[in-house]
Structure 1
Amino acid sequence: MKPSHGLAALLVSLTVSCSAAPAPPVAQDEVAVTVQDCQGKDITFTSTPTRAVTLDGWAAQAMARLGLTDRIVGTGFTGPLAVEKEPYLGALAKVPVISDKVPGTESVAALRPDVVLTSFASFGGGSGPKDADLVTMGAPGIAGCIADRTRPMTDLSVTYDYLDRLGKVFRVEDRATALITELKGREAAVRAKTSSGARPRVMALADNPVAGQPVKALGGSTPVNALIELAGGTNVFSEVDGMHADVSPEKIAELDPQVIWVVTDFSFAKAKGEELVGQIRANPFLATTSGARDGRIVSSSQYVVGFPSALNLDGLEQLARELHP
């Protein structure tokens, strides 16, 4: 799809201005900082960014946890902001909202950012800017890097790495280190309580199963899988590559999950929140599973557990209590 005339003119203007000007000098009180993108390519920042666009609420949350909301000139995909907690919620309420969805390239470019952030695995999702668009804007991008779909996620290193890179880029490494230490401490406390004993079989569902259609379960290469492992459970679909595993009701019956974890608020789901949980509780396809028979159906929002975020630890603590009451 071709860009609009307004976007084309804006990007041409940005290209001319960026190509005509030399690389900005390193500020006297700063040194150049280099971090890697999701492909292992170096990105160098010669000064601290002051105009950040966060394409999603998870990225905005990360900035809030690091005390950097004053650097955000616009955010999109606001759903994750609704589950953030004080005192961060108050700071995030002041952030300008571009769109409730991932903002388009033109909207992002109009804000003239010097960095673009997302907690998704890469850029270019939906109408959002792609890597090539960021180059044209002259704004490097930092993504969440959930990139390896060939093996299960078993830890939260992606979450910690994201916060670490933001801390370096914005020159608040002390804050990032303190936050990561706090989060790792909470993780260790959970693991200490759940590392021994039986590991319940868990199935994570993103939607209510319907006759004649594949069941939307969550596979191994997701933060959801990592949280199940750390909480002392076993994801029955951990070996399925990708985020969403389309599985048959017969396969579910064969694996017999002992706990059904409903991950709500995905855009493709036919219902949201507790409505979805109620539908799954009443679903006859699941009635023969141990989880349904024993009433062990729990729920969390994808805004808490779906993508790299400090809120992942809230989801971990909640799930651990459910798996090991």
Structure 2
Amino acid sequence: MRIKRRLPLLSALGTALLAAGCAGPAPDRPASAGSVGEGFPATVANCGVKTTYQRPPHRAVSLNQHATEVMLALGLEKSMVGTGYLDDAILPEYRAAYDGIKVLSKEYPSAEVLLAAEPDFVYGGFATTFDEKEGRSRDALAKAGVNTHLNIEECPSGPVRMAAMDEEVRTVAKIFGVPDRAEAQLKKLHGTLDSVEAGLKGVQPVKLFVYDSGDKTAFTAGGKGIGNEMIERAGGVNLFADVDKAFGDVSFEQVAERAPDVVVIYDYGDQPVEDKKKFLLTNPALKDVPAIKNQRFAVLPLSSTVLGVRVPSAVESLARQLHPGRFR
């Protein structure tokens, strides 16, 4: 499984604080700007949780890289009191802003640490942010006076398409009362996608298989996550789009049967890309696969393959690797 799913142990004190609801943020303070602003109260329905914001959050915490970078892309760093759980280096254009925010923990913070930051809002990229067993459920945080938002890729009503990126960015901007920033950011992001589309006009799609991880089976990208549309927009065909979820396990024999021309490696965690390549190149089940025989690989950082502001640049990166002749 992907290592981002591992969770640190929650301290007993943190659990007690959440259960009692006694460590939440201080009672209503005025927003940092001193006024509520237009668009409030604002009601947001998100992954089964309906929240009405009386004013923009001003003590926000972001957990998981794509959540953090959405906030930074919207220029919300002054409304943030903490962050945690990166998979990769923060994007260079957000580094200065990120460096001014307190890192609460390397991975997920305990309830004690999270509530000690006195947040009024927690934005999670993965459902594991709000893990009930660890005491960080959305309901428990609400009882402690903390509003929450979960990236909508974690609760899809169907396959996640590029429109979900627009919705996520606009929703976070709505919560913070900065809708104009969302539109400016989306114009930039769609400009990248339009440029890639123009460069790939008439191209023959490349058959590919995504290798995330696994040695007994292959953990791969299915047809329900944003990664599938990224592959399509980059001029590829995901040979496991029939896997009815964002990620799933398949056998290496299935990979061999479908004979990909390219293997896309998702890069993250403690296993270097070169080690993943070596494993695939020496796997007997894959010896006749065209991608393995021709040693044809593409690489994407994992943080670029989930719903956030990195998606368009990841589409461009993959397109350049699959069809280098189109982008000289």
Superposition TM-score, scaled by structure 2 size: 0.84
Q: What is the alpha-carbon distance in structure 2 between the residues aligned to residue 149 and residue 29 of structure 1?
A: 31
Q: How many residues align?
A: 312
Could you say if the C-alpha distance between residues 17 and 297 of structure 1 is closer, same or farther in structure 2, counting changes exceeding 3 Å?
A: closer
Secondary structure of 2:103 counterpart: coil
Runs of at least 4 residues of structure 1 off by over 6 A? 15-18, 21-26
Q: What is the alpha-carbon distance in structure 1 between the residues aligned to residue 23 and residue 269 of structure 2?
A: 37
> Gaps (5+ residues) in structure 1?
none
Q: CA RMSD in A?
A: 2.9
Q: Deviations over 1:40-60 (max 9, x none)?
A: x43211111110011222211
Could you say if the C-alpha distance between residues 22 and 111 of structure 1 is closer, same or farther in structure 2, counting changes exceeding 3 Å?
A: closer
1:280, CA displacement in angstroms?
2.9
Confirm or deny that 1:71 pairs with 2:79: yes
Task: Specify the alignment match of 2:285 in structure 1.
Answer: 285
Residues 223-262 of structure 1 aligned to structure 2 (within 5 Å) = 223-262=226-265
Confirm or deny that 1:116 pairs with 2:125: no
With a CA cutoff of 8 Å and minimum separation of 6, indicate the structure with the bigger relative contact order. Answer: 2
> Gaps (5+ residues) in structure 2?
1-8
Q: What is the alpha-carbon distance in structure 1 between the residues aligned to residue 235 and residue 24 of structure 2?
A: 55
Q: Deviations over 1:231-280 (max 9, x none)?
A: 1211111111233322122211111111100012157xxx2334333433
Q: What is the alpha-carbon distance in structure 2 between the residues aligned to residue 92 and residue 16 of structure 1?
A: 24
Q: What is the alpha-carbon distance in structure 1 between the residues aligned to residue 36 and residue 87 of structure 2?
A: 40
Could you say if the C-alpha distance between residues 64 and 9 of structure 1 is closer, same or farther in structure 2, counting changes exceeding 3 Å?
A: closer
Contact 1:55 1:118 in 2 (8 A): yes
Task: Specify the alignment match of 1:167 in structure 2.
Answer: 173
1:14, CA displacement in angstroms?
3.2
Could you say if the C-alpha distance between residues 127 and 313 of structure 1 is closer, same or farther in structure 2, counting changes exceeding 3 Å?
A: farther
Contact 1:14 1:138 in 2 (8 A): no
Contact 2:205 2:235 in 1 (8 A): yes
Counterpart AA for 2:91: E
Pick aligned residue for 1:84 from 60, 76, 91: 91
Q: What is the alpha-carbon distance in structure 2 between the residues aligned to residue 252 and residue 17 of structure 1?
A: 50
Counterpart AA for 1:231: A
Task: Specify the alignment match of 2:6 in structure 1.
Answer: none
Confirm or deny that 1:199 pairs with 2:219: no
Contact 1:149 1:241 in 2 (8 A): no
Task: Specify the alignment match of 2:4 in structure 1.
Answer: none
Superposition TM-score, scaled by structure 1 size: 0.85
1:207, CA displacement in angstroms?
1.9
Residues 85-234 of structure 1 aligned to structure 2 (within 5 Å) = 85-86=92-93, 88-121=94-127, 123-125=129-131, 127=134, 129-147=136-154, 151-153=158-160, 155-207=161-213, 210=215, 213-234=216-237
Secondary structure of 1:79 counterpart: coil
